[in-house]
Chains A and B, each alone.
Chain A
Amino acid sequence: MLYLFQSASEVGPWCENIIVMAQITDQQNEDTGSISIQRIEHTTGWRVVDFREIWEYRDLFYFLVYRDVKTRYAQSVLGIGWAVAQPIFMMIVFSVIFGRLVGVGSDGLPYVVFSYTALVPWTYFSGALGASTGSLTSNKNLLSKVYFPRLIIPLTSILAKLVDFLIALILVAVLMIWYGIAPSIWAVMLPVYVLIMLATVAGLGMWLTALSVQFRDVSYGIPLGIQLLMYLSPVVYPVSVVPDKFRPYYALNPMSAVIDGFRSGLLGATEPQFDLLLIGSGVALVLIVTGAMYFKRTERIFADVV
């Protein structure tokens, strides 16, 4: 491919040479088809994500995800079992405290299934967000030694955590069989909810990753933020307990829609809440678009400040 110059103003004083080079390039293109010209200079302003470039680096993307998955539980006894340990123990604690002691409602479902179904997407959300935010700082070495589209790094953590998510999801099926719960027709909506979840994580992830390179506070603030956000999401209680006047604000959190969608689709005790779905997917879309834009805007300084 040929990266020449976007505008005439960039051509500068040696345009004659460029023309010569471009001609040479054209000739060689006929022979080899693979001579490229790269122009390196200071860039400013907003840029769009270069999907073609990310596609060119797909092998790197693949191997980085592979590395993340393969090494995450290396040299541990439980291994991949750790993927389900967190939601299981949270489920046990929540069932005892909120289900038994406090007596929080669960739409008539066993509290164990009720909370675990919410904990699966939530655990993914919190894990992937944490991992992607720290990803640039922990891959500092890669950043400062080689070039590749920087977006690959936070996206790698997000994709690698999907493996844990899928394994935790299998346990939902086990619990459903155990309690004799059949999925509802709304289960066909699950892929949409998974997409909303991914968009939310990716969007927030790109924002926070880019910010955390310059301001380490972000990394310290995230565990706190995630914990607070959990109580603003219907993890330990059903959506029905939220007062109507707060509902529009509550819907701004796309994870409310996601958790609601998982419960309605898999457990079928309630209908999906379409106001949550609509507002939540809108917010997720805004997050992923602005996140990508902010990331692209700041990525040029990553290697200098990381």
Chain B
Amino acid sequence: MSDVAIRVEGLSKRYRIGLAEERADTLASSVANLVRQPVRNFRKLASLTRFSDSSDDAEDIIWALRDVHLDIPAGQVIGLIGSNGAGKSTLLKILSRITEPTSGSATIKGRVSSLLEVGTGFHPELTGRENVYLNGSVLGMRRSDISRRFDEILAFAEVEKFIDTPVKRYSSGMQVRLAFSVAAHLEPEVMLIDEVLAVGDAAFQKKCLGRLDGVAQEGRTVVFVSHNMSAVRNLCERAVLLEHGSVKQDGQIDEVMNTYLNVDTGIPPEQVWDDPTTAPGDDRVKLRSIRVTAGGRLLPEIDYSSNFDVEVNYQNHTQNLRVAVSVHIRNSRGDLVFTSGNTPDATDGLDPWYGKPQPVGLFKTTCTVPGRLLNEGAYSVSVFLVGAFVKDAMARAPEVVSFQIKDMRRGEREYQGEWQGIIRPILKWHTESVEGHEPASIEA
């Protein structure tokens, strides 16, 4: 494809962040500060938008984007991924002309619609009908376009009955459906979408994904930002990984996603076996998928203090089989950190299906590992399905998924270095004075 829809060349964007206030330590200096305050405030506010070239690397400047180059052919659906603050949203904002780049340029061919939020401009006092027109025109639709597609929009949103009711009487789900439905009926050549699928119920999300997929099939160019990795994987053929404002990797969706999701180990945090013939297991039971999630999301890094789940899906092919699940966690040096299983000896509370004869069907076993246990680093997970009460392994999946533990609050801690050791538990500590020459008092 020689037809380039979006060309980004050396795009950079810097922001100035406010510096910490000077602190007064005497009454006199706080009075002096009070007097100087307006002058300083003025300088600070005025400087928000002024940059001198010498201040390039001053400490109050952050580069949200730095020298980004991208060519997006017409008709391609491309995913922008990266952790928070990597510059994904800034890039979309520049492409949708909401904010200007500091340097570099972007050229877009075709009519652009940006969807950085669903329902921008919605007003609770206006009726559904009025909001459809308002939101449609906010997104760049003509009044005639909206009228022409009005019935389709209503049908998609499933709110026909309430269209002349103020939207403040709608449930939040209805509002989201209506808002998304307007956006779904845009007909631009280039569409920029930011994390808008995180709203609505699961069924509606699925419908929206279907709709987006349709958009992609029609040959539109779509730039899609999401933390929903499976949505990105389903919709996009190509992905760009941004890190600290620069392009870290640009290529096939699977490769880029692997780089993003497993920084060290080379093993992804999710493993899905679509084909039963290659799935681990024998004819009694087969693994379907294993993933490690925190707060329900696949993440490249899990915070040290948050719980995470190892989720195992398996298909039972044998009536009245008793399946037990066992998990082994190893660190990057290969040490077996711990093993666990859903036997009553190892569980906090009883797993309701443990030891019960299970019918044929799909089962999901989740093991929740508490936060503040594993030290920072990369870990691999092995999963075994065994018959309950026996040692006979029916399915083996050694080191198939991995995850990373990172202390996101390291900068706020007293000791900011790395802790030694395989685990990093939080323990109770206490010191008391046992014997001394003077009466010891903590307050003194």
Residues of A at the B interface (CB closer than 8 Å) are: 12, 14, 17-18, 20-21, 24-25, 34-43, 57, 59-60, 62-64, 66-67, 70-71, 74-75, 141-148, 214-215, 300-301, 303-305
Assembly CA distance A39 to B46 (angstroms) = 28
Assembly CA distance A35 to B103 (angstroms) = 26
Q: Which of B4, B93, B108, B125 lies in contact with A74, CB distance below 8 A? A: B125
Chain B hits for A40, CB < 8 A: 94-95, 97, 100-101, 105-108
In this assembly, does B251 line the interface, its C-beta being within 8 Å of a C-beta of chain A? Answer: no
Q: Mark B1-44, 1 if CB is under 8 A from A, else 0.
A: 01110010100000100000000000000000000000000100
Query: What's the minimum C-beta distance from A69 to chain B, rounded to whole angstroms?
Result: 11
CB–CB B107/A144 < 8 A: no
**Which chain B residues numbered 121 to 180 have a C-beta less than 8 Å away from chain A?**
121, 123, 125-126, 130, 133-134, 137-143
Given contacts A37-B109, A39-B106, A144-B93, 17 further A-B contacts (CB under 8 A): A12-B105, A17-B4, A21-B109, A24-B3, A35-B189, A37-B107, A40-B95, A40-B107, A42-B103, A42-B104, A63-B130, A64-B134, A70-B125, A146-B114, A147-B98, A214-B48, A215-B45
CB–CB A142/B111 < 8 A: no
CB–CB B123/A71 < 8 A: yes
Assembly CA distance A106 to B370 (angstroms) = 81
In this assembly, does B102 line the interface, its C-beta being within 8 Å of a C-beta of chain A? Answer: yes
Report how many residues on chain B are interfacial, defined by Cβ distance under 8 Å: 50
Q: Which of B9, B110, B116, B189 lies in contact with A146, CB distance below 8 A? A: B116
CB–CB B110/A36 < 8 A: yes
Closest to B118 in A: A145
Chain B hits for A147, CB < 8 A: 96-98, 114
State the main secondary structure of chain A at its contact with B.
Answer: helix
CB–CB A41/B106 < 8 A: yes
In this assembly, does B49 line the interface, its C-beta being within 8 Å of a C-beta of chain A? Answer: yes
Assembly CA distance A63 to B4 (angstroms) = 34
In this assembly, does B332 line the interface, its C-beta being within 8 Å of a C-beta of chain A? Answer: no
In this assembly, does B99 line the interface, its C-beta being within 8 Å of a C-beta of chain A? Answer: yes
Assembly CA distance A59 to B134 (angstroms) = 9
Query: A145 and B98 in contact (CB under 8 A), knowing A59-B143, A60-B137?
Result: yes
CB–CB B120/A145 < 8 A: yes
Query: A300 and B98 in contact (CB under 8 A), knowing A21-B4, A25-B109?
Result: no
CB–CB B98/A143 < 8 A: yes
Assembly CA distance A43 to B135 (angstroms) = 29
